Structure 1
Amino acid sequence: MTAAALRALHHGPDLPLVLPGPWDAGSAKVFADAGFPALATPSAGIAASLGYEDGSTPTEEMFAAVTRIVRAVDIPVSADVEAGYGLSAKELVGRLADAGAVGCNLEDSDHATGVLREPEAQADWLARVRAEAGDGLVINARIDTFLRGVEGAEEAIRRGRLYAEAGADCVYPILAPPPLLSDIAAAVGIPVNAVVTPDGPSPRELGALGASRVTFGPGLQRRAMGAVQEMAEHLQKELQGNG
């Protein structure tokens, strides 16, 4: 599937675009078979499925996992590639193309230190990625101001505008208070991605609040593992009862 197909879904009549987050090929196929039009991998969900902490997955293993997910489905897949793994724009775009991903998340802070990048430097990086990819990649520029404790929408909007000017298709102010979504969307001028949280609004409600795109981070993988834990506990109870 093409980046054009994924990009069009951000502007279609059925908004918000809801993108489940598969963590392996099996979960990707389940979501595709359920009728979702596209998928967005979560780096934390893939990390957990491979036995790593979030932000610690080796680059080779992350791209291998994305490749397996893409191979399992016939719908567009966007890949969360964190801050780009230190790759050059050319290398990153090439690796995404080799994996078959037609979109990506790129975040503006460092997992290890939690430090926000200077927005101008991040915008320059995004512009280099756009120049390498042309229109062959849907760039979702994650804004980590709320995640890193910066209150209010002002800095998120400033970053969002810079990232939009650099060629991002969408901005992702992760953990933005839902009432601020409409203000951010209006000020930045491109689609806004919101994340579903356990106690927060539903995807439909996030759409009504201003999100054009809704993702789940590692939430679906964690729910699935919660179900596995329940099965394991039930099996242990059966075994103890039959002992």
Structure 2
Amino acid sequence: MSKVDVFRALHRRREPGDPLVLPGPWDAVSARVFVKAGFPALATPSAGIASSLGYEDGATPADEMFAAVARISRAVDVPVSADVEGGYGLAPKELVERLLEAGAVGCNLEDSSGGVLKDPHEHAEWLAEVRYAAGDRLFVNARVDTFEYGDGNPERAIERAALYVAAGADCIYPIGAPADVLPLLRSGIQGPINVYGTLDGGGPTPTELGELGATRVTFGPGLLRWAALALEGMSGELRKRM
């Protein structure tokens, strides 16, 4: 079975309360740590990679992003999905080729640009072109930014999701959706739903998100930030020993 087939299979028949948890590595070392811990697949965060490379979120040059994804993919044997933001202005065929060259089996694609929502019909047409170029070689996670940059209306999110599913998206990612609207989104969206998880203890656990309707849970740059806090503590201890 190919890695993309393995990745697709991980999304199927998930029991409530048992979502697919995908840590977000920012380099080869973090990827290997997550795999050693037993996670069956990974999902790179664009913001996390940007931070690790010294860029602001959204400012990473395409070549550097694809190179980072390639290093992560080479470092592990499990499937790796890549957050490639809005596609960096690449034509669908080139975008797909570069993802496959980097070793990715899936991708995150946003439906906003510069904090402004894209026209959903035009975006759906673009997603359909990506789907056509990729065939069954990539698992497409279509991000819906209604809760980030729109009016936060769940019905608008469901409408966008329906267009993207019809265009061939494998999964829908309503980033920023409040936990209490997840059951409504679950009832109105066909197929898997990706939900953003938190690590500060103030939000629902992955198990709780799964019970609310999440098929899979990702953390964006959260794990990198968590690691940075741990490093701060180690740095402070090091200073004490000097």
Normalising by the residue count of structure 1, what TM-score does the alignment of the two structures yield?
0.95
Kindly state the Cα deviation for residue 12 of structure 1 after the two structures are TM-superposed.
3.6
* Aligned sequence identity (%): 61
Give the equivalent residue in structure 2 for 1:190. Answer: 191
RMSD: 1.1
Q: Could you tell me which of 208, 211, 219 is aligned with 1:205?
A: 208
Kindly state the Cα deviation for residue 13 of structure 1 after the two structures are TM-superposed.
4.2
**For the residues of structure 1 that align with 2:141 and 2:26, how far apart are their CA atoms?**
19
Q: How does 1:1-243 map to 2 (within 5 A)?
A: 1-13=2-14, 15-110=18-113, 113-197=114-198, 198=200, 199-239=202-242
Gaps spanning 5+ residues in structure 1: where? none
3-state SS in 2 of match to 1:147 = helix
Kindly state the Cα deviation for residue 152 of structure 1 after the two structures are TM-superposed.
2.4
**For the residues of structure 2 that align with 1:9 and 1:24, how far apart are their CA atoms?**
23
Kindly state the Cα deviation for residue 4 of structure 1 after the two structures are TM-superposed.
1.4
Alpha-carbon spacing, 1:13–1:187, altered in 2? closer, same or farther (3 Å): closer
**For the residues of structure 2 that align with 1:101 and 1:78, how far apart are their CA atoms?**
5
Kindly state the Cα deviation for residue 2 of structure 1 after the two structures are TM-superposed.
2.1
**For the residues of structure 2 that align with 1:149 and 1:91, how far apart are their CA atoms?**
29
Q: Deviations over 1:42-79 (max 9, x none)?
A: 00000111111100111111000000000011010000
Tell me the matched-pair count: 237
**For the residues of structure 2 that align with 1:201 and 1:156, how far apart are their CA atoms?**
21
Equivalent AA in structure 2 for residue 2 of structure 1 = K
Q: Is the 8 A contact 2:14 2:20 kept in 1?
A: no
**For the residues of structure 1 that align with 2:56 and 2:14, how far apart are their CA atoms?**
38
Q: Deviations over 1:148-207 (max 9, x none)?
A: 141220110010000000000000000101121121122111111001123211111100
Q: Is the 8 A contact 2:170 2:192 kept in 1?
A: yes
Q: Is the 8 A contact 2:182 2:214 kept in 1?
A: yes
Gaps spanning 5+ residues in structure 2: where? none
Kindly state the Cα deviation for residue 211 of structure 1 after the two structures are TM-superposed.
0.3
**For the residues of structure 2 that align with 1:82 and 1:141, how far apart are their CA atoms?**
10
Normalising by the residue count of structure 2, what TM-score does the alignment of the two structures yield?
0.95
- Give the stretch that moved more between structures: 39-48 or 2-11: 2-11
